[in-house]
């Protein structure tokens, strides 16, 4: 029971903050202290690379004065002997919201249904959009919150970078310590980082209401800041843009939140020459190569999914294999990142219960994360990322004296954190140097002497207590505080027997004496004597802790049940003896061979010989065509409408490609190889299209068809005038009359904008130094591109009047509309369309779902085609795209289109409409080998693809399908067994829910789910 | 007839505001269709066959030797004759333009509406009807939706002056939306759909159970007073004169629904929708419960489900011995593609095309209890049939050239053809 004087002193909280509060007047007498402490005989982990044995840490005034094995301790130093204990630098979390104002949670539904808020609610000389608030400064908002600080200190954290988690441009973060003190002493670095995200947070402003709108807003804000710097500030005062410019020099942290978000954030950074530090989502292992290629440092949460409740086999079908796999693999994330040499810091962000931090971190370590890497991720890496490595994260001389004292290896399961010193101020987490009570104690309580107290446990720090009276075992409540021990226990298991309360003091390490009170209020005396070693454990010996390390399951690309362990590769292939639909003047060739080399069609002919190493496929009795091209698709997108404004020309669908969408695979199974991913039809001027090849497994960037022309979606009619939206009535336009003026207005502005740039660009170098450059406007950029034939319009349209209108608008401004899509009344002005030179991309037989399709007829394609319009048949529907061949066949039924022409409507014609017919759409030597081998006539309902290849790589094979399904089933069964045993061993589970991303149609406005989805055209 | 129509069109009298063609006149003399490939609808095919019908009823059917004396002989050599396609579980006639509420009469408010009758709202003047008829869909079951008990359906012909003469079988069954284990929730934060346990299920289930139990009790009374129209409307369900159509998709829901019917001794239950019915095929077979599948041209239910599962479902059920019919669910205007769903079924596992054809003809007739009248081309059955230039299950080859409903020769004009003609003429396309 011998105690160091120091410990007692410190425990009493007398170690005064060593950090002076110079500027504050005192109410009382000055009490400035040297703050000089030495910690001796410790194992000191100075930084993750340097561990000193039997060393001394000397701190003065909140800073490290010396650390080493040969430190001379000056007179007057308060010394703590840490023999057998360790010192680590205190941990750092750089994705915290500690001390930030509570962010009000958006009401479910986020303001839909009410009057749209078009303008910012933030009054003052700020940016026009509420989600852009670079002027927010965490150090100004920061208010220490002791309870939360305590929670983090107990985990070993000493420093956090905190920022308000609200908005797209969030302002600056502050590096603060977790001490309880005046904020003045807590802030280590006030503008330590700039923060960005894709989420508009609490802003209820209409714009943006989509992911791609968020990205566009960020881009525009950055361009605006640049303009402001270069002269815009003479035109207006804008505190937000000033702040945004100021923040450019800071480390920039982007909330990516998942693997695709990480890639997206980095892409935005690349455009502006910024390397963001990106906060991930814990699923980065699923796209490791691409994430490594970003070169970004990451901030990674370690919240792992709970196992799913899969006890009911049918209900369990609602759990996707990808979810089961992620449950199993999430603990591997950090170790995979480390192995790939991707720098990362760890964060407690996202942990529902912060106390899970250590358990989860240990799980990550069991799954291969080295302790050194783990420590780096919690100390030096975050310090470096914040350019604060000279302050925190290690314990070299001169650093802030923030460190923790532990019982042993910080990452060991039995480790106990005793103390957390922050800037020289001590916080006790657990009592160190506790008396080892473990053993068997003989108690005498009043006149009862048959009571035993067994104290067990793996370490003295975590004792377990059990009262034994003859054969009865009772778990008491025992508290030891310094010299005092108190015990509350029943002394019988009989129902109604009350609690006896005993308080005593140590007379020696092996004896205790004291007084107490029986259940009936009688005062008694008691004593205890340690009589020997207790049995090792009072509880049943637990089975050897089964390692929770994950067996080496394969990542599949994409991370979906039907993904592939290996991304398909291009092969040289000879398809023999098939009926080949050339889409060229040769027409349909029977018993013909096609040779594929290097991803291209190399030869078409009869009796071709197979070069060495070429895979030969027998096409006898089968039909070979080029892949189907869907001119109008919304698959593989995270969102589709930025409906916050009447024009969203600035948004890019390429920002929201979802490479993990199962519909990619489903459509490959239907013979689709290329799709134009369009913005929806919520507004007159939609967003910029993305043209992708359905290379199942590739990343969003890998799906994009490189070198394709830029397209943009326009829309007319009921959707843009919000006819079928009961809560509409505010956003312009509300009639077809207004729609015309939207175009006239925007294009007129774009014309003047382009002229402004031309004028500016013509200025000499000298003149440019004084002239204010025009403000770069990415919305007008896109429109100006249309005017100069660098971007092309695909326009959602139904009724002839509006179709005519847009052609007239285009004529008057000197540009062409490229494609009318849907165009269900195209047949009424096919002559005008032919004259304008616009194509029509239509449904085969859709009608009757709303008023503007009342005159839609299935003969539309035939009538347009015969008038010389380039006609394609598109899907706008994830299901219908799986059988576009059948939709093309309907033009044979309705209107008697020749079969070859019908087939071109889903292959060559859409290629033409997308300006890709030089490389896609027909069986011509040199074109991409995007091929489909059909089991029957491709226009027949009985036809199905047996092989779908893109650029020579097989992405769907009916033959392999069976094996793939079996493998999936086996993997699923294995994971379900594993999940069941996790549940059996007591892990909490989550109820199976089945989530699927929206099946988008162009009608779907964000936040408004169209009534009767399947009719939502 | 055809010539008259053409000249009217040529004169441009029929603008886009033109009305549907008048319903056909009753059959005046016997007609013999000869030289056709006849698809009987029961699996049989007659090559170079003859079908003779008079007064709306088939009087003879067989090979080339079948006598045709006394009939108007129409050679349909090289063409195909099919029994009229039957579209069960349909809202054709009950809604016109989906987004225009004034034209939609497919569901009533309230949870328990067994007394609601779809028949009443069946609009014989719907412009949708001729477009589906012209693809061979000659019968449709007008079905109410909404609530837990939606009301009763009736089997309608796609030709008639009003619902009274269009009806083939009045109030053929009562429709129930089985309270589902799982409810769909839309998440506005990330725009995903979550399907999770239906928390309101218990309440809906107990209301449903109580209604049926009390109805059964009420109907056993001699002269129950006061009269309960809801219970009265359910009489046929308990007596076996009406089907109990239960919409259920999830496997557990299907089992429960069947058990529910058995426990109340309801003789005839039909599962409608049945997206997971293939999982309980054996159960359905053992209990002799037929299934009307919804639209086959749908996406798989789950990320991991086989990409072609919806297409394969009819084949799986057929091979398990379950009586399967195909429907187009709520896709009113799309119902003209119903025969192609049978084509899909044939391409994805149903034994053969004739077996697939049964799923939209005789199987549907059996399930709806009208197989004594229609569903196959057999002597004594109604002459509700059509002639196609090719395989009617395939859009590539299907061109319906003649339609007879109860022997009445139907005018094949429709809104789409009129507009086609108008603009063909405008552009002088041939």
Under an 8 A CB cutoff, do B304 and A561 touch? Answer: yes
pLDDT score recorded for residue A549:
54
- Same-domain pairing of A455 and A389: no
- For residue A721, what is the DSSP state? T
Its pTM stands at 0.92
Under an 8 A CB cutoff, do B98 and A665 touch? Answer: no
Q: Closest approach of chain A CAs to the CA of B228, in angstroms?
A: 34
Residues of A in contact with B16 (CB under 8 A): 855
Domain ranges of chain B: 21-83+375-412, 85-374
Average pLDDT, chain A: 91
pLDDT score recorded for residue A216:
98
pLDDT tens digits along A603-639:
999 999 999 999 999 999 999 999 999 999 999 999 9
Query: Which chain B residue has its CA at the smallest distance from A669's CA?
Result: B307
Among A517, A532, A547, residue at a domain's last position? A532
pLDDT at A9 over 70: no
pLDDT score recorded for residue A14:
38
Mutate which of B330, B394, B422 to test chain A, going by most A C-beta atoms within 10 A?
Answer: B394
**Strand A50-60 relative to strand A63-68: parallel, antiparallel, unpaired?**
antiparallel
pLDDT tens digits along A470-492:
888 888 999 888 788 999 988 88
pLDDT score recorded for residue B428:
87
Under an 8 A CB cutoff, do B193 and A965 touch? Answer: no
Q: What percent of chain A has pLDDT over 90?
A: 77
Q: Which CATH number belongs to the domain containing residue A251 in this structure?
A: 3.20.20.140
Residues of B in contact with A681 (CB under 8 A): none
Under an 8 A CB cutoff, do B193 and A890 touch? Answer: no
Q: Which residue has the tokens 């989550």?
A: A990
- Same-domain pairing of A215 and A82: no
pLDDT at B93 over 70: yes
d(Cα B399, Cα A889) in Å, to the nearest integer? 12
Q: Is A204 a member of any domain?
A: yes
d(Cα A260, Cα A700) in Å, to the nearest integer? 8
pLDDT at A4 over 50: no
pLDDT tens digits along A244-290:
999 999 999 999 999 999 999 999 999 999 999 999 999 999 999 99
Query: Which chain B residue has its CA at the smallest distance from A829's CA?
Result: B423
- 3-state class (DSSP) for residue A822: strand
pLDDT score recorded for residue A1002:
56
C-alpha torsion A842→A845→A848→A851, nearest 10: 20
Under an 8 A CB cutoff, do A322 and B182 touch? Answer: no
Q: Which CATH number belongs to the domain containing residue A474 in this structure?
A: 2.40.128
Q: Closest approach of chain A CAs to the CA of B417, in angstroms?
A: 8
pLDDT score recorded for residue A1015:
27
pLDDT at B56 over 70: yes
d(Cα A642, Cα A648) in Å, to the nearest integer? 6
Under an 8 A CB cutoff, do B343 and A942 touch? Answer: yes
Number of domains chain A contains: 3
User: Which comes out higher in pLDDT, residue B160 or A24?
Assistant: B160
Whether residue A821 contacts residue A795, with contact meaning beta carbons closer than 8 Å, is answered with yes
Query: Helices H, strands E: what count in chain A?
Result: 26, 43
Q: Is A74 a member of any domain?
A: yes
The alpha carbons of chain B give a radius of gyration, in whole angstroms, of 22
Q: Closest approach of chain A CAs to the CA of B276, in angstroms?
A: 10
Q: What percent of chain B has pLDDT over 90?
A: 87
pLDDT score recorded for residue B191:
58
Q: Closest approach of chain A CAs to the CA of B163, in angstroms?
A: 22
Residues of B in contact with A314 (CB under 8 A): 250-252, 279
pLDDT at A544 over 50: no
How big is the CA angle at A585 (ends A583 and A587), to the nearest 5 degrees? 55
Task: Report the sign of the C-alpha dihedral through residues A747, A751, A754, A760, in that order.
Answer: negative
Query: Which chain B residue has its CA at the smallest distance from A1015's CA?
Result: B98
Among A504, A532, A560, residue at a domain's last position? A532
Under an 8 A CB cutoff, do A939 and B396 touch? Answer: yes
- Same-domain pairing of A368 and A461: no
- Same-domain pairing of A411 and A469: no
Q: Which phi and psi angles does A807 have, rounded to 5°? A: -65, -40
Q: How much is the ipTM here?
A: 0.94
Under an 8 A CB cutoff, do A1012 and B330 touch? Answer: yes
Residues of A in contact with B397 (CB under 8 A): 940
Mutate which of B93, B95, B99 to test chain A, going by most A C-beta atoms within 10 A?
Answer: B99
- Same-domain pairing of A385 and A515: no
pLDDT tens digits along A664-701:
999 999 999 999 999 999 999 999 999 999 999 999 99
Query: Which chain B residue has its CA at the smallest distance from A111's CA?
Result: B188
Q: Which CATH number belongs to the domain containing residue A18 in this structure?
A: 2.30.40.10
d(Cα A764, Cα A572) in Å, to the nearest integer? 55
Count A/B contacts: CB-CB distance under 8 Å: 174
d(Cα B400, Cα B286) in Å, to the nearest integer? 39
Under an 8 A CB cutoff, do A863 and B429 touch? Answer: yes
Band of pLDDT at residue A1012, cut at 50, 70 and 90: very low
Mutate which of A828, A850, A857, A976 to test chain B, going by most B C-beta atoms within 10 A?
Answer: A857
Of A2-11, B10-19, B52-61, the poorest mean pLDDT is in: A2-11
- Same-domain pairing of A461 and A500: yes
Q: Closest approach of chain B CAs to the CA of A120, in angstroms?
A: 21
- Same-domain pairing of A63 and A188: no
Q: Which of B99, B191, B427 sits opposite A724 (nearest CB)?
A: B99
Whether residue B153 contacts residue B141, with contact meaning beta carbons closer than 8 Å, is answered with yes
User: Which comes out higher in pLDDT, residue A359 or A985?
Assistant: A359
Of A484-488, B122-126, B406-410, B421-425, the poorest mean pLDDT is in: A484-488
Q: Which residue has the tokens 């369309």?
A: A833
Q: Closest approach of chain A CAs to the CA of B217, in angstroms?
A: 35
Mean pLDDT in residue range B390-400: 96
pLDDT score recorded for residue A450:
87
Q: Which phi and psi angles does A474 have, rounded to 5°? A: -135, 140
pLDDT score recorded for residue A312:
86
Under an 8 A CB cutoff, do B304 and A320 touch? Answer: yes
Reference A296, options A310, A313, A279, A312; nearest CA is A279
- Same-domain pairing of A446 and A512: yes
Under an 8 A CB cutoff, do A1007 and B188 touch? Answer: yes
Q: Is A118 a member of any domain?
A: no
Q: Which of B394, B423, B427 sits opposite A940 (nearest CB)?
A: B394
Band of pLDDT at residue A435, cut at 50, 70 and 90: confident
Mean pLDDT in residue range B181-197: 69
Instruction: Count the neighbouring beta carbons within 10 Å of the beta carbon of residue A253.
Output: 27
pLDDT at B6 over 80: no
Helix (H) or strand (E) holding A360: helix A356-366
Under an 8 A CB cutoff, do A866 and B97 touch? Answer: no
Q: Which phi and psi angles does B207 have, rounded to 5°? A: -65, -40
Q: Which phi and psi angles does A365 have, rounded to 5°? A: -70, -40
Q: Which of B331, B395, B417 sits opposite A941 (nearest CB)?
A: B395
- Same-domain pairing of A271 and A309: yes
d(Cα A821, Cα A798) in Å, to the nearest integer? 8
Q: What percent of chain A has pLDDT over 70?
A: 92
pLDDT at A547 over 60: no
Whether residue A642 contacts residue A208, with contact meaning beta carbons closer than 8 Å, is answered with yes
- Same-domain pairing of A272 and A349: yes
Band of pLDDT at residue B195, cut at 50, 70 and 90: confident
d(Cα A197, Cα A170) in Å, to the nearest integer? 8
Under an 8 A CB cutoff, do B182 and A317 touch? Answer: no
The CATH H-level (homologous superfamily) assignment of domain B21-83+375-412 is: Urease, subunit C, domain 1 (2.30.40.10)
pLDDT tens digits along A765-777:
999 888 889 999 9
Residues of A in contact with B336 (CB under 8 A): 845
CATH code of the region B85-374: 3.20.20.140
pLDDT at A1 over 70: no
Q: Which of A109, A940, A965 sits opposite B188 (nearest CB)?
A: A109
Q: Closest approach of chain A CAs to the CA of B363, in angstroms?
A: 21
Of A416-420, A469-473, A997-1001, B277-281, the poorest mean pLDDT is in: A997-1001
Under an 8 A CB cutoff, do B188 and A895 touch? Answer: no
pLDDT tens digits along A917-968:
999 999 999 999 999 999 999 999 999 999 999 999 999 999 999 999 999 9
Reference A631, options A719, A714, A717, A692; nearest CA is A692
- Same-domain pairing of A375 and A486: no
Q: Is A463 a member of any domain?
A: yes
Mutate which of B298, B310, B396, B414 to test chain A, going by most A C-beta atoms within 10 A?
Answer: B396
Band of pLDDT at residue A498, cut at 50, 70 and 90: confident
Range of the domain at A489: 439-532
Residues of A in contact with B195 (CB under 8 A): 318, 993-996
pLDDT at A536 over 60: no
Instruction: Count the neighbouring beta carbons within 10 Å of the beta carbon of residue A258.
Output: 16
- Same-domain pairing of A98 and A84: no
């Amino acid at each position: 029971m011998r105690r160091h004087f120091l410990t007692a002193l410190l425990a009493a909280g007398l170690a005064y903050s060593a950090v002076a509060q110079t500027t504050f007047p005192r109410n009382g007498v000055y009490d400035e202290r040297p703050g000089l402490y030495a910690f001796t005989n410790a194992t000191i982990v100075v930084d993750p690379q340097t561990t000193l044995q039997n060393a001394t840490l000397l701190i003065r005034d909140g800073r490290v004065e010396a650390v080493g094995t040969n430190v001379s301790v000056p007179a007057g130093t308060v010394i703590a002997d840490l023999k057998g204990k360790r010192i680590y630098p205190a941990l750092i979390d750089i994705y915290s919201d500690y001390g930030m104002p509570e962010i009000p949670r958006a009401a479910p539904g986020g303001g839909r249904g009410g009057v749209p808020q078009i303008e910012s609610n933030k009054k003052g000389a700020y940016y026009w959009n509420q989600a852009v608030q670079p002027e927010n400064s965490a150090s100004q908002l920061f208010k220490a919150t002791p309870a939360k600080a305590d929670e983090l200190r107990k985990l070993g954290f000493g420093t956090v970078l905190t920022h308000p988690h609200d908005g797209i441009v969030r302002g600056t973060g502050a590096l603060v310590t977790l001490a309880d003190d005046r904020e003045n002493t807590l802030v280590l670095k006030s503008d330590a980082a700039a923060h960005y995200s894709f989420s508009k947070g609490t802003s209820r402003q209409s714009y943006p209401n989509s992911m791609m709108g968020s990205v566009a807003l960020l881009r525009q804000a950055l361009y605006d800041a640049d303009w402001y710097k270069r002269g815009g500030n003479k035109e207006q005062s804008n505190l937000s843009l000033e702040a945004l410019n100021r923040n450019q020099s800071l480390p920039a942290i982007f909330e990516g939140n998942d693997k695709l978000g990480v890639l997206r954030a980095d892409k935005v950074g690349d455009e502006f020459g910024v390397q963001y530090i990106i906060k991930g989502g814990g699923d980065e292992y699923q796209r490791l190569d691409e994430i490594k290629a970003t070169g970004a440092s990451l901030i990674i949460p370690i919240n792992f999914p709970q196992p799913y409740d899969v006890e009911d086999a049918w209900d369990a079908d609602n759990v996707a294999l990808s979810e089961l796999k992620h449950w199993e693999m999430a603990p591997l994330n950090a170790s995979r990142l480390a192995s790939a040499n991707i720098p990362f810091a760890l964060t407690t962000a996202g942990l529902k219960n912060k106390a899970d931090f250590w358990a989860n971190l240990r799980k990550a370590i069991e799954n291969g994360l080295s302790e050194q890497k783990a420590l780096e991720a919690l100390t030096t890496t975050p310090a470096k990322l914040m350019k604060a490595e000279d302050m925190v994260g290690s314990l070299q001389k001169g650093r802030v004296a923030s460190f923790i004292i532990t019982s042993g290896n910080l990452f060991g399961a039995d480790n106990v954190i005793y103390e957390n010193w922050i800037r020289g101020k001590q916080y006790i987490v657990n009592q160190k140097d506790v008396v080892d009570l473990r053993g068997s104690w003989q108690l005498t309580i009043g006149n009862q002497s048959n009571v035993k107290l067994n104290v067990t446990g793996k370490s003295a720090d975590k004792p377990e207590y059990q009262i034994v009276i003859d054969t009865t075992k009772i778990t008491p409540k025992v508290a030891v505080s310094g010299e005092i021990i108190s015990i509350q226990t029943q002394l019988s298991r009989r129902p109604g027997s009350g609690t006896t309360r005993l308080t005593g003091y140590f007379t020696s390490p092996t004896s205790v004496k004291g007084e107490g009170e029986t259940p009936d209020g009688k005062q008694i005396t008691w004593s205890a004597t340690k009589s020997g070693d207790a049995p090792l454990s009072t509880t049943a010996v637990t089975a050897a802790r089964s390692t929770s390390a994950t067996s080496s399951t394969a990542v599949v690309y994409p991370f979906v049940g039907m993904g592939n362990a290996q991304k398909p590769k291009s092969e040289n292939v000879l398809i023999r003896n098939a009926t080949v639909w050339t889409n060229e003047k040769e027409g349909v060739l029977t018993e013909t061979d096609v040779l594929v080399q290097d991803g291209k069609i190399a030869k078409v002919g009869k009796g071709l010989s197979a070069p060495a190493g070429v895979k030969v496929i027998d096409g006898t009795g089968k039909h070979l065509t080029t892949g189907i091209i869907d001119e109008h698709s919304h698959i593989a997108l995270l969102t589709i409408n930025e409906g916050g404004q009447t024009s969203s020309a600035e948004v890019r669908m390429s920002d929201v490609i979802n490479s993990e969408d199962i519909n990619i695979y489903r459509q490959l199974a239907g013979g689709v190889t290329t799709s134009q991913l369009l913005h929806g039809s919520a507004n007159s001027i939609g967003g910029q299209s993305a043209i992708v090849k359905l290379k199942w497994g590739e990343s969003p960037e890998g799906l994009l068809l490189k070198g394709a022309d830029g397209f943009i979606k326009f829309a007319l009619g009921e959707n843009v005038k919000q006819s079928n939206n009961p809560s509409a009535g505010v956003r312009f336009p509300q009639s077809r009359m207004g729609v015309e003026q939207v175009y006239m207005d925007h294009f007129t502005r774009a014309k003047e904008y382009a002229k402004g740039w031309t004028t500016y660009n013509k200025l000499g170098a000298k003149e440019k130094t004084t002239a204010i450059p025009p403000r770069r406007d990415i919305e007008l950029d896109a429109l100006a591109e249309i005017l100069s034939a660098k971007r092309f319009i695909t326009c959602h349209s139904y009724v002839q009047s509006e179709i005519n209108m847009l052609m007239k608008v285009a004529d008057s401004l000197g540009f062409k509309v490229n494609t009318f899509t849907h165009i269900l009344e195209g047949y009424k002005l096919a002559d005008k369309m032919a004259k304008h030179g616009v194509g029509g991309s239509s449904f085969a037989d859709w009608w009757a779902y709303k008023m503007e399709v009342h005159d839609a007829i299935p003969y539309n394609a035939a009538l347009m085609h015969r008038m010389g319009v380039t006609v394609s048949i598109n899907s706008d529907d994830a299901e219908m795209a799986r059988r576009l061949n059948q939709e093309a066949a309907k033009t044979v039924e309705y209107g008697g289109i020749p079969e070859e022409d019908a087939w071109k409507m889903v292959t060559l014609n859409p290629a033409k409409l997308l300006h890709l017919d030089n490389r896609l759409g027909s069986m011509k030597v040199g074109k991409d080998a995007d091929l489909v081998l059909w089991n029957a006539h491709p226009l027949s309902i009985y036809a199905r693809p047996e092989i779908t290849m893109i650029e020579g790589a097989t992405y769907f094979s009916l033959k392999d399908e069976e094996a793939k399904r079996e493998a999936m089933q086996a993997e699923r069964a294995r994971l379900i067994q594993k999940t069941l045993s996790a549940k059996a061993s007591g892990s909490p589970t989550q109820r199976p829910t089945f989530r699927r991303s929206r099946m988008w149609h162009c009608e779907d406005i964000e936040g408004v789910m169209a009534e009767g989805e399947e009719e939502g055209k | 007839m055809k010539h008259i129509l053409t000249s009217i069109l040529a004169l441009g009298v029929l603008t886009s505001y033109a009305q549907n063609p008048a319903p056909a006149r009753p059959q005046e003399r016997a007609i013999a269709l000869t030289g056709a490939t006849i698809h009987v609808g029961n699996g049989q095919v007659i090559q170079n066959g003859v079908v003779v019908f008079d007064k709306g009823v088939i009087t003879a059917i067989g090979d080339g030797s079948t006598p045709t004396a006394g009939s108007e002989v129409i050679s349909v050599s090289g063409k195909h004759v099919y029994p009229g396609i039957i579209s069960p579980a349909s809202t054709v006639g009950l809604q016109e333009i989906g987004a225009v509420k004034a034209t939609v009469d497919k569901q009533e408010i309230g949870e328990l509406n067994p007394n609601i009758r779809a028949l009443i709202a069946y609009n014989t003047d719907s412009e949708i009807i001729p477009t589906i008829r012209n693809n061979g869909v000659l019968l449709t079951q007008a079905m109410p939706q909404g609530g837990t008990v939606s009301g009763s359906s009736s089997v309608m012909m796609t030709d008639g002056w009003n619902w009274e003469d269009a009806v083939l079988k009045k109030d053929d069954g009562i429709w129930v939306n089985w309270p589902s284990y799982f409810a769909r929730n839309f998440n506005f934060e990330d725009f995903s759909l979550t399907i999770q346990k239906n928390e309101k299920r218990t309440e809906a289930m107990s209301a449903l159970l109580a209604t049926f139990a009390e109805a059964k009790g009420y109907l056993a009374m001699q002269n129950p007073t006061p009269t309960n129209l809801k219970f009265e409307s359910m009489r046929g369900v308990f007596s076996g004169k009406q089907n109990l159509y239960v919409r259920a998709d999830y496997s557990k829901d299907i089992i429960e629904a069947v058990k529910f019917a058995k426990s109340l001794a309801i003789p005839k239950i039909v599962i409608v929708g049945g997206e997971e019915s293939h999982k309980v095929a054996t159960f359905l077979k053992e209990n002799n419960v037929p299934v009307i599948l919804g639209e086959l041209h749908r996406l798989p239910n789950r990320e991991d489900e086989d990409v072609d599962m919806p297409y394969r479902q009819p084949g799986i059920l057929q091979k398990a011995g379950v009586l399967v019919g195909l429907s187009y669910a709520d896709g009113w205007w799309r119902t003209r593609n119903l025969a192609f769903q049978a084509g899909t079924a044939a391409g994805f596992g149903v034994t053969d095309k004739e077996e697939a054809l049964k799923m939209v003809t005789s199987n549907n007739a059996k399930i709806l209890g009208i197989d004594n009248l229609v569903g196959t081309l057999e002597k004594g059955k109604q002459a509700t049939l059509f002639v196609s230039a090719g395989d009617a299950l395939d859009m590539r080859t299907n061109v319906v050239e003649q339609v007879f409903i109860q022997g009445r020769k139907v005018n094949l004009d429709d809104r789409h053809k009129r507009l086609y003609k108008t603009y063909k003429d405008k552009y002088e396309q041939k």
